[in-house]
Amino acid sequence: MVKKTLINAIPHKGLRERLLDRIDPDVSVVPVVRLTGVIASSGPLRDGLNLSGVAGDLDAAFKTRDAKAVALVINSPGGSPVQSSLIFKRIRALAEEHELPVLAFVEDVAASGGYMIACAADEIFADEHSVVGSIGVVSAGFGFSKLIEKLGVERRVHTAGESKAMLDPFKPEDPEEVERLEALQ
C-alpha cells in the first residue's frame, strides 16, 4: 500500500534528522511503500511478496506529484531470488525514469532477497539491532558415507545426468561439487 506522508512521520528520530538536511519537511512529499514478508511468487494457496503484488504500489509512489524521494520500508527475510531481482530492477528503473532518490528503511530484517531489494535504494537506514545482509545461499547437510559402509549398506543411484546426485550425503564429499556449489552462491 502506498502512503503519502511527510518526512516528519518517519518514526526513527535519528533518521528524520539526517533526512532534514536534504528534504524540507514542510513542503516535501515522500511516498512510502511497505515491502513485508517472504519473497515468493504467489498462487491460489500462498501469498508472497513479489513483483506482481507490488508493481502497482511502486508505480504509484514514483508518480506521486511533488515527491522528493520514495521511501521503502522493508521487513523481509528474503526468499525467491527471481522475485527479489525483479523487484530490485523495477525500483531502479522507476528511480531512473522519474529521477527520484530511493531511501530504504529496514525494520526488523532485510536479509537475503530482502537485502537485495534494500540495495536498490540510494541509501539504506537501519536500526542498530536490525538484521541486515547475507545475499546468498546456505547449503547444509550431513555425510553418511562411513556409516553406511560400516553398516554394510550398498547405495545405488542411477541418474540421467552427470550432476544429478551432486552433494549426495551417502557418498564422500567431492571437492569439485563443493567448488561448483560455491560458484553458485
DSSP state, residue 153: P
Residue of 105, 44, 36 whose CA lies nearest to 70? 105
Residue type, 89: K
Known catalytic residue at 112:
yes
To which residue does cell 525500483 refer?
91
Question: What does the angle CA 43 – CA 116 – CA 8 come to, to the nearest 5 degrees?
Answer: 100
**Around Cβ 44, how many Cβ atoms within 10 Å?**
5
Residue of 58, 62, 61, 112 whose CA lies nearest to 87? 58
Q: What whole-number distance in Å separates Cα of residue 159 and Cα of residue 126?
A: 47
The residue from 76, 80, 112, 130 that is catalytic is: 112
Known catalytic residue at 84:
no
Residues in Cβ contact with 147 at an 8 Å cutoff, skipping those fewer than 6 apart: none
**Catalytic center residues:** 112, 164
